[in-house]
Amino acid sequence: MLKGKTALVTGSTSGIGLGIAKALARQGADIVLNGFGDVEGPKAEIAALGVKVAYHGADMSKPAEIEAMMKFAAAQFGRSRVDILVNNAGIQHVARIEDFPTERWDAIIAINLTSAFHTTRLALPAMRAADWGRIINVASAHGLVASAEKSAYVASKHGIVGLTKVTALENATTGVTCNAICPGWVLTPLVQKQVDAKAAALKISNEEAKKLLLGEKEPSMQFTTPDELGELAVFFCSAAGNNVRGVAWNMDGGWVAQ
Residues in contact with ligand NAD by CB under 6 A are: 11-17, 34-37, 59-61, 88-91, 111-112, 138, 140, 183, 185-186, 188-191
H helix or E strand, kind and range, residue 123: helix 115-130
The answer to whether 29 touches 84, Cβ cutoff 8 Å, is yes
| Contact (Cβ atoms closer than 8 angstroms) between residue 188 and residue 16 | yes
Least Å distance, CB 117 to ligand NAD, is: 14
Q: State the Cα–Cα distance between residues 106 and 246, nearest whole angstrom.
A: 26
Residue 17: CB minimum distance to ligand NAD, A: 5
Minimal distance, residue 57 CB to ligand NAD, in Å:
8
Residue 157 C-beta: closest distance to ligand NAD, Å: 7
Other Cβ atoms less than 10 A from the Cβ of 25: the count is 24
Nearer to ligand NAD, 91 or 155 (CB): 91
- Whether the CB-CB separation of 229 and 16 falls below 8 Å is answered with yes
Nearer to ligand NAD, 40 or 131 (CB): 40
Which of 109/190 has CB closer to ligand NAD?
190
* Residue 88 to residue 111: CA distance in whole angstroms: 9
Nearer to ligand NAD, 34 or 76 (CB): 34
Q: What order do you get walking across the sheet with 133-138 strand by strand?
A: 53-56, 30-34, 6-9, 84-87, 133-138, 176-183, 248-251
Residue among 55, 61, 143, 153 flagged as catalytic: 153
153 carries an active-site annotation: yes
The residues annotated as belonging to the active site are 153
